């Protein structure tokens, strides 16, 4: 596997760091999760199956667990000895916490110059908000994406997905892999300052036209991506379900409106978003006249970007995801998320085993190095 031989020491908690290091474990890295005496919080968050939290199962498979009290000098020394032999170190605490523990980059890189050190924090290591506590919702609110997540009543909605967390996870993974690649040439590691807000803001290229071109916030429901385009919207069906049109290219509009008997409305879709109300109102009435199942049959074979709005359980049970191995079941009946990074050569090999809290302490302490 691509990361075989890479040792990762992971002090992060909750979602961004643990998801990052799980992806590394899936591709062969040895990931040692260092947990506080109380354990990784997600061991006890949310629903459980077969004794383990689903959240924990889908962020900590294939890792080893070392339970340490880092305020204890002897246990911290054991951790330092482990980091001396590591390739990657990941932490997700508020800026300054690692320095107070003597686990900052300056200290660790002096001991291990090849170390790639990744800090994930809400707002980064510098700037006026660096010490501000925040999780995903607050970061999305600060970054404008809660504003963009406007409901039908014009009020902002709680975002459905933790995109600040996941953006930071992916940015952190990308940075670590770049640093490891460069280390092959220089022999030296590096320090990554990954801000969850930076990572989220970097996901906004297609949303910033009004901001960068006209120095204003968008009128959300008039923008192409959020309801202003007839061919890029959510529509309600007769049975209270919904479908989406998700392709605004004019060829799709021509195909759709021709089949609906109103070919002239395709021209409306060539107008700017926010000026397509005639087409939108027609489609609202049309889609409200049949059930989602009926529309699924109607769209069969038609070259239009459309999709049903699936319930989450429906989506995860779909045949396509099973074929892609993005949802699979282990021998104990636990369902897992699969690996999205699919190599032709040396593909990931998922180890679904979960470590018990501190499971590897004894073997580590007995050898002093190997876990």
| Enzyme catalytic residues | 165
Chain-centroid distance of CA 229 in Å reads 27
Q: What is the Cα–Cα distance from 285 to 12, expressed in whole angstroms?
A: 50
DSSP 8-state class, residue 64: E
On the CB side of 108, CA atoms within 13 Å amount to: 32
Nearest residue to 35 via CA among 55, 64, 15: 64
Nearest residue to 166 via CA among 199, 143, 139: 199
DSSP 8-state class, residue 216: S
Contact between 131 and 94 (Cβ < 8 Å): yes
Q: What is the Cα–Cα distance from 305 to 311, expressed in whole angstroms?
A: 19
Residues 50, 54, 55: CA angle, nearest 5 degrees: 150
Determine the 3-state secondary structure of 121 from DSSP.
strand
Nearest residue to 9 via CA among 36, 29, 43, 34: 34
The H or E element that residue 240 is part of is none
Q: Going along 247-339, which residue ranges are E strands?
A: 306-308, 327-329, 335-337
Chain-centroid distance of CA 316 in Å reads 16
Phi-psi map region of 215: left, alpha, beta (phi>0 left; psi -120 to 50 alpha): left
Residue 232 to residues 131, 155, 305: CA-CA distances in angstroms?
40, 21, 9
Q: What is the Cα–Cα distance from 265 to 117, expressed in whole angstroms?
A: 56
In total, the chain counts a number of residues equal to 371
């Amino acid at each position: 596997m691509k990361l075989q031989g890479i040792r990762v020491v992971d002090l992060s908690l909750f979602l961004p760091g643990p998801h990052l290091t799980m992806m590394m474990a899936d591709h062969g890295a040895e990931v040692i999760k260092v947990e506080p005496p109380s354990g990784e919080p997600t061991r006890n968050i949310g629903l459980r199956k077969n004794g383990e939290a689903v959240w924990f199962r889908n962020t900590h498979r294939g890792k080893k667990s070392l339970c340490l009290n880092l305020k204890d000098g002897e246990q911290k020394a054991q951790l330092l000895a482990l980091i001396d032999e590591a390739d990657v170190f990941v932490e997700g605490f508020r800026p300054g916490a690692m320095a107070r523990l003597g686990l900052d980059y300056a200290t660790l890189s002096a001991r291990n110059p090849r170390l790639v050190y990744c800090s994930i924090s809400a707002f980064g290591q510098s700037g006026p908000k660096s010490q501000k506590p925040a999780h995903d919702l607050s970061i999305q609110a600060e970054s404008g994406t809660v504003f963009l997540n406007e409901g039908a009543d014009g009020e902002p909605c709680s975002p459905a997905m933790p995109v600040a967390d996941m953006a930071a996870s992916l940015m952190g993974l990308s940075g670590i892999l770049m640093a490891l690649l460069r280390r092959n040439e220089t022999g030296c590691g590096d320090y990554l300052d990954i801000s969850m807000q930076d990572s989220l803001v970097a996901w906004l290229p297609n949303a910033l036209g009004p901001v960068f071109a006209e120095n204003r916030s968008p009128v959300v429901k008039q923008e192409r991506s959020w309801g202003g385009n007839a061919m890029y919207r959510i529509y309600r069906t007769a049975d209270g379900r919904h479908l989406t049109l998700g392709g605004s290219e004019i060829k799709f509009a021509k195909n759709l409106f021709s089949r609906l008997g109103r070919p002239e409305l395709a021209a409306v879709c060539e107008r700017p978003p926010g000026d397509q109300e005639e087409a939108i109102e027609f489609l609202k009435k049309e889609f409200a006249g049949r059930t989602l199942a009926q529309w699924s049959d109607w769209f069969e074979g038609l070259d239009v970007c459309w999709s049903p709005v699936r319930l989450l359980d429906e989506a995860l049970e779909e045949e396509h995801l099973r074929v892609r191995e993005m949802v699979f079941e282990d021998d104990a009946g636990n369902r897992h998320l699969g690996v999205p990074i699919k190599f032709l050569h040396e593909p990931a090999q998922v180890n679904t085993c979960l470590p018990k809290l501190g499971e590897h302490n004894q073997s580590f302490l007995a050898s002093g190095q190997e876990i």
